Structure 1
Amino acid sequence: MTELRFHEMPDGRQIAHRFTPGLGPTIVFLPGYMSDMTGSKAAALFDMAVASGRACMLLDYSGCGQSPGAFEDGTLSRWRDEVIALIEAANLRDVLLVGSSMGGWLMLMVAEKLGDRVKGMVGVAAAPDFTEWGIAQMDKNVLADGETIWEDNPYGPEPTPTHPGFWADGQANLMLDKGIPFDGPVRLLHGQRDDDVPWEIAVRLAEKLRSSEVQVTLIKDGDHRLSRDADIHLLLRSVAELVLARTPAA
């Protein structure tokens, strides 16, 4: 793994990231909610990029992983701007966005800003609009009153918070209630045993994307994380297919 670096935002926020140069488009991995760049999917993508001479960037949103800050200050818009700032600072002309869970929502928001610089997207259990469909009405009322809700966390001992600022920003950035003007290739990988994000969200997202190059792959026994060896192999194959198709001939 390459050296950990920090990019300073205009307000002083320090965004941790790793970058390996190589042939483009650059693979940019966007972690899920309360996740970071040390996960198995991120590591596998980075290792594949290094081994094949491809460019790749991993990152931690502010308040997550090795990026300092308070998690409760995080919002989709704030983290989207951090991703774009890193892409701009590294002068990455073409990128391939890979978004896991919440990162799948963020990749749509990043693509909306970067336009045709995004050469493709791969979603892994992508969760656009989960502040709408993933939160009960009674909890939405609590969040609207400015209070945090806490839910059981199946992946760790501490409960998972949803802070009112994050929820409000999510509601302001809903994607599935309109067409999504992206014309590049998209691959959506989703487990049908996903207890966090229904696999029907992948189908709904595919319908909303304007692109005709959208493929949905359902893994019948796959869970939300899709981190088994076979799942990661599928991810690597999907990413490699799009990267190779978008790499100019020497």
Structure 2
Amino acid sequence: MDHAFYEMPDGRRIAYRHTPGSGPALVFLPGYMSDMAGGKATALFDWAREQGRACLLLDYSGCGESDGEFAEGTLSRWRDEVLELVEARTEGNIVLVGSSMGGWLMLLAGLKLVSRLAGMVGIAAAPDFTDWGYDAEQKAKLAAGETVFQENLYGTEPTPTHPAFWQDGEEQRLLDREIPLDCPVRLLHGQLDHDVPPAISLKLAQMLRSVDVQITLVKGAGHRLSRDGDVALLLRTVAAIA
């Protein structure tokens, strides 16, 4: 896969893919422990290139082809990487497309990019999952500086949550107040999503200030929304909002 690197101020290199074209530019934000080589990111990039649309993909530090250690990753760190890449590689208005944790980052980055936001598309968006995604025992361990491991339904190794990520996430929670974003928002969510309950998208829609928010619940779909029909829905949704 063709990719380039952007050097952050501290020297770490962030891998990205960019195709130029008309706007608004599409910016895809992967989920937790995911990267720009995933099926939805690749499908969006290929579609954008075919349509002559500008599109930007990236790997957060510690993920995919980017420099860094995953254990050092936090929402704040990854949000700042997104903002740097958007500033350096896109022009004009943008549409942020966030998958799972990327849906939380989509909101955090969007709050810094308000004047450029043409829209947002969440795919099983998971804002505030450091709150609702862990039980009291796990939170106590994380607060004490321990790494917590959870069952990984998509791989052989358990999924780690490191204390720095959890602590930063708790400081970045959004669902307890109005989210001052006014752009069109589309939220796609599988009805059988056992990782991020569909109720999270309902809560997010309620807390967004925008009056143009639509939720699409997909019957029979789980968290990944990666079936052919799910990807086709994503591309139709992006085309309609952008």
Query: Is 1:130 aligned to 2:123, yes or no?
Result: no
1:33 — aligned with what? 32
Runs of 4+ in 1 over 6 A off after TM superposition: none
1:115 — aligned with what? 114
Give the letter for the 1:56 counterpart: C
Distance 1:237 1:158 in 2: 34
1:79 — aligned with what? 78
1:10 — aligned with what? 9
Give the letter for the 1:88 counterpart: E
Deviations 1:97-136 (A, max 9, x none): 0000000000000001111211100000000000000011
Distance 1:123 1:236 in 2: 12
SS of the counterpart of 1:196?
coil
RMSD after superposition: 0.8
Deviations 1:143-193 (A, max 9, x none): 000010001101001110000000000000001001001111000000010
CA contact (8 A) 2:191 2:198 kept: yes
1:222-233 to structure 2, matched below 5 A, reads 222-233=221-232
Give the count of matched residue pairs: 242
CA contact (8 A) 2:25 2:90 kept: no
Deviations 1:61-87 (A, max 9, x none): 000001021000000000000000001
Distance 1:227 1:205 in 2: 22
Alpha-carbon deviation of 1:91? Answer: 4.3
Greater mean alpha carbon deviation, residues 71-80 or residues 85-94: 85-94
Q: Which runs of 5+ in 2 are unaligned?
A: none
- Identity of aligned pairs, percent? 62
Distance 1:4 1:40 in 2: 16
Distance 2:18 2:215 in 1: 29
TM norm structure 2: 0.99
Query: Is 1:170 aligned to 2:161, yes or no?
Result: no
Distance 2:14 2:228 in 1: 30
1:180 — aligned with what? 179
